Amino acid sequence: MFDLNLLLAALGGGLFGSAIGAVNAFMFTGLAVMAGVAASFIDPAAAAIIDNVAFGPMFGPHIAFSGGVAAAAYLARKGDLIESGKDIATPLIKFGDPGVLIVGAVFGVIGHIINSLWVSINLPTDTIALTVVVSNSLTRIIWGNGLFGKVPEGGSLLQTTEENVWVPAQKGIPMLVVMGLGLGAVSAYSSLATGSPVIGFGIAAFSLLFGGGPVWHHMALPAGQAALATGSVVVGAIFGVVGALLGELGARLLFNYGDTHIDPPAFGIFISIAIILLFL
Q: What is the pLDDT of residues 7-16, one digit of tens each?
A: 999 999 999 9
Mean pLDDT of 188-201: 98
State if pTM tops 0.85: yes
pLDDT of 120 > 70? The answer is yes
Band (212; pLDDT cuts 50, 70, 90): confident
Strand, coil or helix: 2: coil
Cα 57 from Cα 54, distance rounded (Å): 8
Q: How much is the pLDDT for 1? A: 65
Closest-CA residue to 235 (of 188, 202, 277, 180): 188
Identify the CA nearest to 264 among candidates 141, 176, 167: 167
Query: Which of 170, 164, 169, 191 is closest to 241 using CA atoms?
Result: 170
Residues 6+ apart with CB under 8 A from 229: 235, 276, 280
Torsion of CA 97, 133, 36, 12, to 10 degrees: 30
Spatial CA neighbour of 51 closest among 42, 41, 40? 40
Question: Sign of torsion, CA 76 139 34 48?
Answer: positive
Kindly provide the b/e burial profile for residues 44-83, where b requires at least 16 CB atoms within 10 angstroms of the residue's own CB.
Answer: eeeeebbebbbbbbbbbbbbbbbbbbbbbbbbbeeeeebe
**pLDDT score for 179:** 98
pLDDT at position 2 is 78
Q: Is the predicted pLDDT of residue 115 greater than 90, yes or no?
A: yes
Percent of the chain clearing pLDDT 70 (strictly above) = 100
Measuring CA to CA, which residue among 16, 230, 210, 11 is closest to residue 109? 11
Write down the domain spans for the chain: 1-144, 151-280
